[in-house]
Structure 1
Amino acid sequence: MEDIKEEKDLEVTDERNNGEIDLIELAKKLWTRRKTIILWCVIGALIGLVIGFSIPKEYTTQVKLAPEISNSGSASKNLGALAAMAGISTTSNSSDAVYPQLYPDIMKSVPFCLALFNIPLTDVDGANKFTLEEYLKDYTSEPWWSVITGAPGKLMGLLSSSKEITAKGQDNTLIRLTKEQDKLIKRLNSAIATSVDEKTSVVTISVSMQDPVVSAILADTVAGRLKEYVTQYRTDKARQDLYYIDKLNEEAREKYYAAQQRYANYLDTHQGIVLYSAQTMRDRLENEATLAFNVFNQTSQQLQMAKAKVQEVTPVYATIEPAAVPIKASKPRKVLILAGFIFLAFVGACAKVLFYEPVKNKFKQTEVPAGNKTYEPGEE
């Protein structure tokens, strides 16, 4: 039994020694082929430098907004008290469908992007003035390999018929886009990034452009348009109610003035008359004027409440970080690109030395040349 244990221990130690020897042999193989590995790394570095310097510079501008979180605070209670005095109920539950998590989708929508195409821009020198659409078409550059990668798409575009692309706007009207506009919208979507902090609801808008001034102007404009969009949505129902109540108040005012004028005219033409029919008509006109006044007074109170409601639902945004012209380019990260290509070249060279070449040599050794067949005695 002891002999068997000793044999097993020897086998285990032999396996460990073989493993250590294998690692040493691998290291020796890499060291003996170090020139090849260094050559591959140099080639990888050159490729990384070419790619890094071929990518156009981009400048990123960030804008941070803190949106107001709607809640039923003291202002709502005060409005509720005024509404109770005016006989208006404000207990309807209103839900906000545009919450901060939807802001990225809003900013990538077709109507939002189309509205940005006509904003005026200027370059860093201030010598050129153009719109965003003109800037994306004529004032931006792409890496040289985009000509190669984009050739199949251009060829398919020439062969296929040029059809317009349709999309729906806010009022469900169809928006017809050309292929050029659709391409520019995709480029704009890739240049604008929006993120929302789940805890604080802080909205961060990042705009990357090849010109730092264009990046800052566009970031500030995008933030402003987002505020306008959300404000328009949240106040739309309240503004419709305000318009309707204002119309009712105007009609009630006209009816009240007309009833008051009829009552005054009747009193002027029937002074000193003590007939019961005249007194009945006077009381009727007086009641009509009083009723018209009550309606006018109630609609006036409702009008003031509607104006206060519009002010209440109007969101307020605190600009935590305004748009500033960036000084340093954010892309491309040449050091990371260079390090990445050197690492890939090193891994590829090691794989070639350790795996590809041994397998290739073994395959050659197993092959038997066709003219070197051996004959045993007795064979014909």
Structure 2
Amino acid sequence: MNKTLKKQEEDLHEPPVSDINKESADTKENLDNEKSDKTIANNKFYKIAFDVYAYIQILIKKKWWILSIALTFGLFGVLCSFQIPKIYTSALSLAPESSKNGLSSNISSLASMVGMDMKFGNNDDAIYPEIYPDVVKSNKFIVSLFDIKVTTKDQTLTTTYYNYLDKYQKSAFWNKWIDAISKKIKKSDSISEKNNNINKVDTFQLTKKETDIANNISNSIKCSVDKKTSIITIQVTAQDPLIAATMADSVKVRLQDFIKEYRTQKARDNVAYIRHLYKEAKDRYDKARKEYAEYADAHQETVLQEYQSKQEDLENEMQLQYNIYTQCVQQLQLSLAKLQEQTPVFTEITQAAVPIKHSNTPKIVIVIVFIFVATIGSLLYFTIANRKKIFRIVEITK
């Protein structure tokens, strides 16, 4: 009886099963809501905003600094523009003779009109217009310009092109400072001064000084070829207008000589060989004629058959040598004609002339560039210095 009452009392204090399940579900939902709130809080989005108003205020505040820096750089640009030596450029253009003919020439001409380069037939010429600029830049060609005599426009100086570039070049003050510092840092190389005579320049092993001057000449010469028309344009820059024109004409002549020498090398060798054969044939003919004449004069009244036979042999030998001699003469004339035919011809479209105006960059352009660089640099400096005021991190709300 007592056990029964105790069990009923425990059943009265124990909550029902449905209430326990409901409470468990509520607790789980609250935990999920808290977790969701934390996830949303952790997944915030931000962006960097540029405060235009603050940036303008900073620029207005620093405007006198910006103007003063730009003005200072502008004055420095004016100084630099007057320190840069004047240079003059002389130009000319050539049209080389085309070695193409026939149908292939017509097709190539049509192809060149649309910018195509089509070569037909057997063309074993390794020096074609497209590589003329490389020929002009070669050491052998550049060194050949060292001994050219040049004269300044005011007629106060006449020397070689090598000495002109070595001793009579003007330079800006910063270049003089750089040269002075480099001479103090680097000791003079004894090998660089071994050749004082420019006529003994070794193109295979140039000295330091010769290399510098050769690079200076190479940078002052510009050779270009139009792929459509094959017109060669040569430009030479120098600090004296007369020297610029003189060197432009000299480069043209040296380039023509180089191309002629290359293209006619085989024909000239052929002419030299046939001329050698011609001289030998002439000597043999003269010798045979002399022997025949002497023998005939000595035996004019001889009627013996033995003497007559020998005279006929000498006459035949003379006639044979004469035939060989005439053939050599013909071959020599043909080889000379072929040499003339293979010699290229250049039509000078525009001649080199002494320039009147210099080809430097205008001074106003140099000053504007200095002011522009100073202004941009100032703006970048003040932007970086005040980046915390100009750039702000803003939260993106959804």
Under a length normalisation based on structure 1, what TM-score does the superposition of the two structures give? 0.74
Deviations 1:255-283 (A, max 9, x none): 122223333444441655253x4454344
Number of the residue aligned with 2:97: 68
Indicate if the aligned counterparts of 1:61 and 1:215 stay in contact, CA closer than 8 A. Answer: yes
Residue of structure 1 in register with 2:33 after alignment? none
User: 1:226-280 CA deviation, whole Å, 9 max, x = no partner?
Assistant: 22222222222222211211111111112122223333444441655253x4454
Does 2:354 correspond to 1:317? no
Counterpart of 1:296 (choices 325, 333, 337) is 325
- Residue identity over aligned pairs, in percent, reads 36
Letter in 1 for 2:324: V
Contact 2:234 2:252 in 1 (8 A): yes
Question: Partner amino acid for 1:308?
Answer: A
Matches of 1:290 and 1:72 in 2, distance apart? 43
Cα deviation for residue 153 of structure 1 reads 3.5
Q: What does residue 11 of structure 1 align with?
A: none
Relative to structure 2, which stretch is displaced further, 193-202 or 262-271? Answer: 262-271
| Mapping for residues 126-275 of structure 1, pairs under 5 Å | 126-151=155-180, 153-158=182-187, 161-163=190-192, 177-268=206-297, 269=299, 271=301, 273=303, 275=305
Query: Does 2:383 correspond to 1:354?
Result: yes
Provide the rounded CA distance (Å) in 1 between the counterparts of 2:311 and 2:226.
Answer: 69
The separation in 2 between residues aligned to 1:33 and 1:280, in whole angstroms, is 122
Q: Distance in 1 between matches of 2:296 and 2:133?
A: 67
Q: Check the 8 A contact 1:49/1:334 in 2, yes or no.
A: yes
Contact 1:165 1:176 in 2 (8 A): no
For 2:373 and 2:151, locate their aligned partners in 1 and report how far apart those are by CA, in whole Å: 41
Could you tell me how far 1:318 is from its partner in structure 2? 1.3
Letter in 1 for 2:303: I
Tell me how far apart the structure 2 counterparts of residues 236 and 95 of structure 1 sit (CA, whole Å): 13
Deviating 4+ runs (over 4 angstroms): 21-29, 163-166, 173-176, 277-280, 359-362
Answer yes or no: is 1:339 the counterpart of 2:365: no
1:356: how far off? 3.3
Assess, with a 3 A threshold, how the Cα gap between structure 1 residues 267 and 104 changes in structure 2: closer, same or farther.
Answer: same
Partners of 1:164 and 1:177 within 8 A in 2: no
Q: Return 285-294 or 249-258, whichever deviates more.
A: 285-294
Contact 1:207 1:215 in 2 (8 A): yes
> Does the 8 Å CA contact 1:55/1:332 hold for their aligned counterparts?
no
CA distance in 1, matches of 2:343, 2:188: 51
| Unaligned stretches of 5+ residues in structure 1 | 1-14, 74-92, 167-172, 363-380
Alpha-carbon displacement from aligned partner over 1:177-215 (angstroms, at most 9, x marks no partner): 443322222222222221121221211111111111121
Per-residue deviation, residues 143-184 of structure 1 (Å, max 9, x unmatched): 111133334532354165535799xxxxxx765544332222
| 1:42-65 deviation per Cα after TM superposition (whole angstroms, max 9, x unaligned) | 223122222222211111111211
CA, structure 1 residues 23+298, in 2 after alignment: closer, same or farther (shift >3 Å)? farther
Inter-partner Cα distance in structure 2 for 1:31 and 1:208: 47
- Letter aligned with residue 256 of structure 2: K
Select which of 118, 125, 139 maps to 2:147: 118
Cα distance in structure 2, aligned partners of 1:174 and 1:116: 12
CA distance in 1, matches of 2:390, 2:219: 49
C-alpha distance in 1 between matches for 2:386 and 2:54: 15
What is the root-mean-square deviation of aligned Cα atoms in Å?
Answer: 3.1
Larger mean CA deviation between 242-251 and 150-159 belongs to 150-159
Change (3 A) 1:174 1:186: closer
* Distance change in 2, residues 1:25/1:199 (3 Å): farther
Distance 1:361 1:266 in 2: 120
Structure 1 274/63 Cα, relative in aligned 2: closer, same or farther at 3 Å? same
CA contact (8 A) 1:56 1:332 kept: no
Aligned residue number for residue 105 of structure 1: 134
Total equivalences in the alignment: 321
Q: Name the SS for the 2:187 alignment partner.
A: helix
Q: Is the contact between residue 60 and residue 212 of structure 1 (CA under 8 Å) also seen in structure 2?
A: yes
